[in-house]
Structure 1
């Protein structure tokens, strides 16, 4: 039971900060916040994402490319230009790595307005940090896993961020229904997206990329939006009006 609780906590903790911090804040600036809270969110993103920490600058640049060139040959991770999800992940990881190492220059319209914390970015993207988190996950399983087959979950811990991205980018542009004609292939994979915390409402998101609420119909519930509304209400963040 403790292993399943740990896995679930890591899955949703990592996913929450990816969608809340790297996606909704770094990429789209759906809300504003103080420098203090930005640094708090930065640290929590690093701690919860752990071995697969996603550099916010690199994430924002690649994601802005995705919106600008959605489902075209210039899209960094459209499933319609790869034979399978593994090839798409391989290309995505390379593009992301180029932005982390700054060996690729983004188009002039993409940079800016994303958080940067060089020391955390260097540590979080380092091989040593990823290995230490991986060792910590493994040690936890050694102490608490009652059955050998539970160790099969460890690779998911190691690659949590890329796995989340692969699910969203592959499924969200191939399977489901459409509320809007966005001139791309984005879809809402499921009307009840609790597993991916609203990220699979891709059709809605591509229609309203600056809206903090990914759900648009009465039955489409974005689990992260009420959390953001609470943070807005108590003054931690200020949700920007969508345009």
Structure 2
């Protein structure tokens, strides 16, 4: 029970900070928050993503490139130009690392105002941090994994952020339905997105990239992250732009 509970907490916790902080804040800047709140959110992202921590800068820049070049040869991740899901994952990882370490030249339009806390990212993305979290997960499993099949959750936890990315970047460009005709293959993967915290409304998002609400086009398209954001907005912890 404890292992499954940990998996659920990390799945939804890590996913929330990916879509709330990395995606809607860093990449699209659909809301604002104070610098203090931003730094707290950096820490919470590291806490919940753990061994698969993603930099706001690396993610934000790469995601802007995805929107600009969706389903073309310049797209950092596309089922249309990658032979299989593993090839896409590898290319995504390489592009992300090159952006994050500033090994490649990037047009200013992709980097403008993208937040970067260099020292924290260097620590949170380090092998020391990733090994630390992995060891903690293993110790947790050693204590609470009472049957062999519970250990199957361990690699899922260690690779959770890439798994989240694959679900949307691969499957939401192949399967699902569309509300809008766009220049790419983005689709809404789920009619009610209880699994991906609103990220599965991918076609809606590609049509209205800067909109904080990924759902809302049809009656059943409820975006859980946007619901939380409205509460945070009411508490004046963030300010939603649209």
Secondary structure at the counterpart of residue 239 of structure 2 = strand
- 1:171–1:200: 8 Å Cα contact kept in structure 2? no
How many residues are aligned here?
A: 241
Partner residue, 1:223: 224
Deviation sequence 1:16-51 (CA, Å, 0-9, x none) = 000000000000001001111111111100111110
SS at 1:80 equivalent: coil
CA RMSD, Structure 1 to Structure 2 (Å): 0.8
Does the alignment pair 1:145 with 2:145?
A: yes
SS of residue paired to 2:40 = helix
Runs (5+) with no aligned partner, structure 1: none
Offset of 1:108 from its aligned partner? 2.6
After the TM superposition, list the runs of 4 or more consecutive aligned residues in structure 1 that deviate by more than 4 angstroms: none
Match of 1:232 in 2: 233
TM-score (norm 1): 0.97
Give the structure 1 partner of residue 40 of structure 2.
40
Partner Cα separation in structure 2 for residue 177 and residue 7 of structure 1: 29
Task: String of CA shifts for 1:93-148, please: whole Å, max 9, x gaps.
Answer: 00001112211111232112122112210111101100110000010000111112
**Counterpart in 1 of 2:166?**
166
**TM-score when scaled to structure 2?**
0.98
Q: Please list the CA deviations of residues 147-195 of structure 1 after superposition, one character each: whole Å capped at 9, or x if unmatched.
A: 1221121111111111110111011111011100111111001111111
Alpha-carbon deviation of 1:197?
0.7
Indicate the SS of the match to 1:200: coil
Partner of 2:78: 78
Question: 2-side partners of 1:120 and 1:53: how far apart?
Answer: 11
- Which ranges in structure 2 are unaligned for 5 or more consecutive residues? none
CA distance in 1, matches of 2:197, 2:67: 19
Q: For residues 110-129 of structure 1, what are the structure 2 equivalents within 5 Å?
A: 110-129=110-129
| 1:50 has 2:50 as partner | yes
Partner SS state of residue 16, structure 1: helix
